[in-house]
Amino acid sequence: MHFEYNIISGDFSNAGSASSQIKKVLKQLNVETVTIKRIVVALYEAEVNVVAHSFGGTIFVDINTEEILLRLKDTGPGIPDIKLAMQEGFSTASPQVREMGFGAGMGLANIKKNADKLEIKSEVGVGTEVTIMVKLNE
């Protein structure tokens, strides 16, 4: 199964809608609740990152019997220092975003904790691609 969702930069009112739709699909597929919970946390955080930090992007979701693969591709601005971005507590979020309770620097840590594989590729001026894999039969 393949799904795609567009994410608009700064569109916080729709943040989480892709996660919500994928959650419904996984429930229909009878994926274990524990696994669905992990996927939902990882996807929501990744989705919010694209809304909060990028110029916009697309989520590509592929589900087979073994695993779910989430690819979030944005059109920039790119992450200059991925190692720094991965540090818990580090955030470049604006004061407005922080006031909403986002931007605590916990997002990537939440993704890493819940994913079986996390890969971040980024080029400044080009964009970022985050790939998250979660096994479905653990």
Partner 1 sequence: MKVEEIVKALDLKIFSGEKGLSNEITNGYSSDLLSDVMGSAEAGCVWITLQTHKNVLAIASLKELAAIILVKGYKPEDDMAAQSNEENIPVLGTDKQAFEISAELFNLIKK
Binding residues for partner 1, rule: CB under 8 A, are 12-13, 15-17, 19-20, 23, 37, 40-41, 44-45, 48, 100-102, 104, 106-107, 109-110, 113
Q: What's the min distance (Å) between Cβ of 123 and partner 1? A: 26
Token couple for 104: 């605590």
Closest to partner 1 by CB, 43 vs 79, is 43
Q: What's the min distance (Å) between Cβ of 81 and partner 1? A: 20
Q: What's the min distance (Å) between Cβ of 126 and partner 1? A: 26
Question: HSE (CB half, 13 Å, CA atoms) of 108?
Answer: 20
Q: What's the min distance (Å) between Cβ of 103 and partner 1? A: 9
Closest to partner 1 by CB, 37 vs 135, is 37
Closest to partner 1 by CB, 19 vs 128, is 19
Q: H helices of the chain, where?
A: 17-28, 33-53, 82-86, 95-99, 107-114
Q: Who's near 62: CB < 8 A, 6+ residues apart?
A: 1, 2, 68, 69, 71
| Residue in the structure block whose two tokens are 């009112």 | 13
Closest to partner 1 by CB, 84 vs 124, is 84
Q: H helices of 29-129, where?
A: 33-53, 82-86, 95-99, 107-114
